[in-house]
């Protein structure tokens, strides 16, 4: 991945579930920007507003299709590879 490239991931997030999206590139935090959009491309979250935090925890109340975009921060060193993980815990 180059600084001018954006990776795009499509996923379904299910209502009643607690999620964590984690993203990194290289050995240090803060060099990858990721953003989560709904199906109409409305921004739901971007870690660029939180010092490029490497993860975001959130709860979904209603099932929705979304897009996660990831790109290297132009001012940071990266490995050229990006990893985005989505973990979940169903609420009881």
Instruction: Indicate the pLDDT class of residue 83, thresholds 50, 70 and 90.
Output: confident
Instruction: Indicate the pLDDT class of residue 26, thresholds 50, 70 and 90.
Output: confident
Average pLDDT over residues 34-43: 96
User: In terms of Cα–Cα distance, which of 76, 65, 75, 6 is closest to 34?
Assistant: 6
Instruction: Indicate the pLDDT class of residue 14, thresholds 50, 70 and 90.
Output: very high
**Cα 33 to Cα 63: distance, rounded to the nearest angstrom:** 24
Stated pTM of the model: 0.84
**Cα 76 to Cα 17: distance, rounded to the nearest angstrom:** 33
- The whole-number pLDDT of residue 55 equals 94
């Amino acid at each position: 991945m180059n600084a001018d490239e954006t990776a795009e991931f499509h996923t379904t997030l299910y209502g009643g579930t607690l999620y964590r999206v984690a993203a990194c590139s290289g050995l240090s935090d803060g060099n990858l920007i990721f953003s989560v959009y709904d199906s109409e491309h409305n921004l739901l979250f971007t870690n660029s507003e939180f010092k490029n935090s490497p993860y975001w925890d959130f709860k979904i109340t209603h099932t929705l299709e979304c897009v996660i975009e990831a790109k290297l921060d132009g001012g940071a060193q990266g490995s050229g590879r990006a990893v985005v993980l989505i973990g979940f815990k169903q609420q009881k």
